[in-house]
């Protein structure tokens, strides 16, 4: 096996499916990241989303109130904070489970990448004259006729497929989504209803991506959204940091050494949490602390970050794990090497949690805050308690923030759920109640 920054005991915990809190030894070590992406990319993505906003209102009337921006609220908590946060400070929920259009965190990155491709084509074909033109022209029959000659393809465990498929189809593209075996039936149904072609695979996410990539590469009119290697997705996700800063400002919260920001991000292949971390680090530097969260059965980012810069991430199968989890949004066997290298010195650590823990938090979110999420999202709520463990305390001391925790601002990033059909959610909730009692 490749060199891993893990002790024998940590490896054994991972292999046996026990929760682990791993601190990243490369944190704050700029040498650990060979080529960090350019921060300017975040602002370019933000500007692109703003250019498209008027068109998005035409395509999705639910975006009228936000002026065409796809954004979610930052929700304060009280009861939940008391229940799940033993270390002090306030707890907020970043409600991306309720992001309009796609219903998950994939809305930002996925939609941004589709818009990048549409813009590139439109400029090349002269449908728009430049970035100052009226982008509503891209909803015209002429534009749709052009877009219909092109395919946008993606491989997904479900939510990225929804994001790419919904946006691609809305613009008139021929959209093809390759779904892994973990993908839920309702997600496939929802896409088919929108005219998206769904290709079902009996293997894992990595295999669905590989098959999608191969099919798309064979067709010169097909564009592949490569979740394992995509700066466009990454920068779209990173825009969330700018939006979060606006929301913190509005709440009168200034992030500082006396008031640290601690963020818990569910991680699959790494793009969404990586992009957000990259954005938050650009804004808040050492005063923001980003922890990734993964199911005990799919700790692919942990293995990727514990590996070495410029090396392929170790697949979870090498530890004898099988991605056996209900957190379908996090059901990934191998992390994105590109993302691991991009944020290798920015991620504070990675923790893992059992499905039972996810369900307990899914229940608490519903019971205490009336928030309905899918299991993947609930893993973010394990974060504050992890900081109260040995490695957590060690981190807080090392970063000199143990004493400012009473002013700390914790953000649990809720990544998906509002599109889950009620019947499906009730099933989650029943399981959650059984486990919690």
Per CB under 6 A, residues contacting ligand PLP are: 104-106, 159, 266-273, 329-330, 374, 376-377, 415-416
State the DSSP code for 48: H
Between 106 and 281, whose beta carbon lies closer to ligand PLP? 106
Between 262 and 330, whose beta carbon lies closer to ligand PLP? 330
State the DSSP code for 282: H
What are the tokens at 56? 């998005």
Dihedral (CA of 304, 392, 294, 88) sign: negative
Between 115 and 379, whose beta carbon lies closer to ligand PLP? 379
Please state the closest distance from residue 269 (CB atom) to ligand PLP, in A.
4
Among all chains, which residue has been given the structure tokens 């759920």?
417
Between 150 and 243, whose beta carbon lies closer to ligand PLP? 243
Across the beta sheet with 197-200, the strand order is 197-200, 174-179, 151-156, 222-225
CA 225 from centre of chain = 15
Nearest residue relative to ligand PLP (C-beta): 268
| E-only strand ranges, 332-381 | 347-353
Between 172 and 416, whose beta carbon lies closer to ligand PLP? 416
Between 106 and 289, whose beta carbon lies closer to ligand PLP? 106
Burial 282-318 (b: 16+ CB within 10 A, else e): bbbeebbbbbbbbbbbbbbbbbbbbbbbeeebbbbee
Please state the closest distance from residue 333 (CB atom) to ligand PLP, in A.
12
User: What is the bridge-based pairing of β-strands 74-76 and 90-95?
Assistant: antiparallel
Between 87 and 267, whose beta carbon lies closer to ligand PLP? 267
Instruction: Assess contact for 72 and 98: CB atoms under 8 A.
Output: yes
Please state the closest distance from residue 338 (CB atom) to ligand PLP, in A.
12
Please state the closest distance from residue 124 (CB atom) to ligand PLP, in A.
29
Please state the closest distance from residue 240 (CB atom) to ligand PLP, in A.
12
Please state the closest distance from residue 145 (CB atom) to ligand PLP, in A.
32
Distance CA 206, CA 228 (A): 9
Instruction: Compute the residue count for the chain.
Output: 437
Inter-axis angle of helices 159-171 and 185-193, nearest 10: 0
Please state the closest distance from residue 7 (CB atom) to ligand PLP, in A.
25
């Amino acid at each position: 096996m490749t060199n891993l920054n893990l002790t024998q005991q940590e490896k054994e915990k991972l292999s046996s499916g026990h929760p682990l809190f791993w601190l990243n030894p490369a944190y704050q070590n700029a040498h650990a990241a060979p080529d960090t992406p350019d921060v300017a990319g975040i602002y370019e993505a933000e500007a692109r989303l703003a250019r498209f906003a008027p068109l998005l209102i035409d395509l999705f009337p639910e975006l009228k109130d936000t002026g065409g921006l796809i954004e979610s609220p930052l929700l304060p908590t009280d009861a939940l904070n008391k229940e799940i946060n033993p270390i002090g400070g306030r707890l907020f929920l970043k409600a991306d489970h309720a992001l309009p259009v796609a219903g998950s965190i994939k809305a930002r990155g996925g939609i941004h990448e589709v818009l990048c491709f549409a813009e590139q084509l439109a400029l090349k074909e002269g449908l728009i004259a430049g970035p100052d033109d009226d982008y509503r022209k891209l909803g015209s029959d002429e534009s749709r006729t052009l877009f219909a000659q092109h395919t946008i393809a993606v491989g997904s465990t479900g939510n990225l497929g929804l994001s790419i498929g919904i946006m691609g189809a809305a613009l008139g593209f021929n959209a093809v989504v390759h779904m892994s075996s973990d993908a839920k039936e309702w997600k496939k149904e929802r896409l088919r209803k929108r005219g998206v072609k769904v290709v079902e695979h009996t293997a894992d996410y990595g295999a669905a991506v590989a098959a999608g990539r191969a099919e798309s590469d064979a067709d010169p009119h097909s564009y592949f959204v490569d979740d394992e290697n995509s700066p466009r997705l990454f920068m779209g996700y990173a825009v969330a940091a700018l939006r979060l800063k606006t929301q913190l400002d509005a709440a009168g919260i200034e992030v500082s050494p006396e008031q640290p920001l601690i963020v818990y991000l569910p991680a699959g292949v790494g793009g969404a949490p990586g992009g957000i971390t990259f954005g938050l680090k650009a804004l808040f530097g050492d005063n923001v602390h980003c922890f990734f969260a993964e199911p005990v059965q799919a700790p692919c980012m942990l293995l990727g970050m514990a590996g070495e810069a410029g090396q392929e991430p170790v697949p979870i199968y090498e530890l004898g794990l099988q991605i056996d989890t209900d957190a379908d949004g996090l059901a990934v066997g191998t992390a994105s090497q590109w993302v691991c290298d991009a944020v290798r010195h920015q991620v504070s650590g990675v923790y893992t949690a059992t499905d039972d823990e996810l369900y307990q938090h899914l229940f608490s979110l519903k019971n205490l805050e009336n928030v309905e999420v899918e299991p993947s999202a609930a893993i973010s709520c394990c974060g504050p308690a992890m900081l109260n463990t040995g490695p957590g305390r060690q981190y807080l001391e090392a970063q000199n923030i143990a004493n400012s925790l009473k002013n700390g601002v914790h953000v649990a990033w809720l990544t998906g759920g509002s599109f889950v059909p009620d019947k499906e959610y009730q099933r989650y909730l029943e399981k959650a109640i059984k486990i919690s009692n």
